[in-house]
Amino acid sequence: MDFIFRLALPAECADADRVLRAAFTPYMKRLGREIPSDYYKWLPASIERGDVFVADEGGRIVGVAATERRDTGLYLDRLAVDPVKQGTGLGSWLLVRLEEVARARGDRAMSLTTAEMMDHLIRLYSSHGFEIVHRGPPDHGKDPHTRITMVKPL
């Protein structure tokens, strides 16, 4: 892999949106939902705040990590890998880079939430030291699928 990890640039919002939609469409379908056209309306502001990171391969965005800064540390809101790069280890590579960012900031932990039915994602996060700390219904109430919250102390 020859990727560059960096902050997303405002001009790359459409590319980040493309990767997020491509990666999350199957996830949302498994939840019985569709991605609305305005689903990523928060993305430009998040990029401006410096909360979105990308994996750049030869000038093409192939991975996106949307984060939030929380009191407890770095919250991974979305981790998306372009479907043509899924299964290559790019998701793991992004998680390692995000941990480097969190440690450099002095964060005490990294956390995330995913659907319990997404066994492959739970295995990925567990292999990087995340542990399940909570199970329950989604806060938004848009589907009945159990969510799990995972935390990795740093």
Is pLDDT at 140 greater than 90 in this prediction? no
Collapse the DSSP code of 89 into the 3-class scheme (helix H, G, I; strand E, B; otherwise coil) and give the result: coil
- Taken in order of first residue, the domains within the chain and their CATH numbers are 4-153 (3.40.630.30)
Give mean pLDDT, residues 6-21.
97
Q: Which of 6-10, 32-36, 59-63, 125-129 has the lowest mean pLDDT?
A: 32-36
**pTM for this model (two decimals):** 0.92
Say how far apart CA 52 and CA 72 lie, in whole Å.
18
pLDDT in tens, 91-114: 999 999 999 999 999 999 999 999
pLDDT band at 56; cut points 50, 70, 90: very high
Average pLDDT value over all residues in the chain:
94
Say how far apart CA 138 and CA 148 lie, in whole Å.
9
From residue 17, give the alpha-carbon distance in Å to each of 77, 133, 150. Answer: 14, 30, 25
Residue-level pLDDT at 1: 63
Say how far apart CA 85 and CA 94 lie, in whole Å.
12
Output 125 or 26, whichever has higher pLDDT. Answer: 125
